[in-house]
Amino acid sequence: MSKIYKLEWTSNAKNDLLNIVAYIKKDTPGIANEVYQKIREKAHSSNFFPLRGRVVPELQKEGITLYRELIAPPWRIIYKVGNESVYIMAIFDSRQNVEDILLQKLLKSQTSEHL
């Protein structure tokens, strides 16, 4: 039987999700809730099979293999696996400049978690 991990959202990831929904809601309010549900559902699947997501390619090039991602097109859900929990770290549109966003967000999250 597979281990089920606790799913935890960082404040950074929560803010990302709320910002995505707010942005979409401005133009297409009916779609905003669908996007919210789609992202939450995909993120929730990580606590059952946390290693199914791929290592984030842009970070892997830099030798960082701690972070994985799930895709809920066009959104990328970045997470890391702990002993008992899966931590959702960031969510962003895959059409954005990934490397800059990821490094900035993940380094910021690590700093705030240790405070």
Tokens of 21: 């929904």
Q: What is the pLDDT of residue 15?
A: 94
One DSSP character per residue, 35-101 reads: HHHHHHHHHHGGGTSTTSSEE-HHHHTTT--SEEEEEETTEEEEEEE-SSEEEEEEEEETTS-HHHH
Q: For the chain, what percent of residues have pLDDT higher than 90? A: 57
One-letter amino acid at 12 equals N
Residue 75 has pLDDT above 70, yes or no: yes
Q: Which domains does the chain have, with CATH numbers?
A: 6-108 (3.30.2310.20)
pLDDT band at 82 (very low <50, low <70, confident <90, very high): very high
Residue 113 has pLDDT above 70, yes or no: no
> Rounded to an integer, what distance in angstroms lies between the CA atom of residue 35 and that of residue 109?
24
Say how far residue 67 (Cα) sits from the centre of its chain: 10
Mean pLDDT across the chain? 86
For 38-72, the pLDDT digits (tens) are 999 999 888 778 888 999 998 898 898 999 999 99
Q: What is the pLDDT of residue 55?
A: 95
Residue 106 has pLDDT above 90, yes or no: no
Secondary structure (3-state) at 9: strand
Evaluated on CA atoms 8, 101, 69, 32, the torsion sign reads: positive
